[in-house]
Amino acid sequence: MLDGRAAETPEDLMRSRYTAFALGDARHLVDTWYPGTRPGDLTIDPDTEWMRLDIQGSDIAPDGRSGRVRFRASWREGAGGDLETMEEHSRFIRRAGRWYYVDAL
C-alpha cells in the first residue's frame, strides 16, 4: 500500500499506516486520511521508534462502506526510552473504491 496500491480492507490500511509511521512516511498518512478529519499539519516525531502492531480485531459493515480496526501499538521515545503502548478502535470509510482512516473511537 505504501506503493500507492489501494488497501483491500481496513486492516490492510491500518497495517500500511503503522508502517508509514515507523518509516516516517507522512505523505502516505495524509493520502490515506479521510479529508473531513485529516489534520492540517502532520509531523512525525523522528525520535519515536515503533516496535510492534497487534491487530485485535477488525470488521467491515455489511454494505462494505465502513469498517473498524481494534489494535495495540507499542513504541519507545528515543534510544533507551520506556516501552509505551496505546490501544485504539479506528474507524475507516470506503470512498471511490479506496479505504480511508477517519478517526479513533
Q: Per-residue pLDDT tens for 56-103?
A: 999 999 999 999 999 999 999 987 889 999 999 999 999 999 999 999
Q: Is the pLDDT of residue 2 over 70?
A: no
What letters, b where the CB count within 10 A reaches 16 and e where it falls short, cover 45-62? eeebebeebeeeebebee
Q: What's at 6, amino acid-wise?
A: A
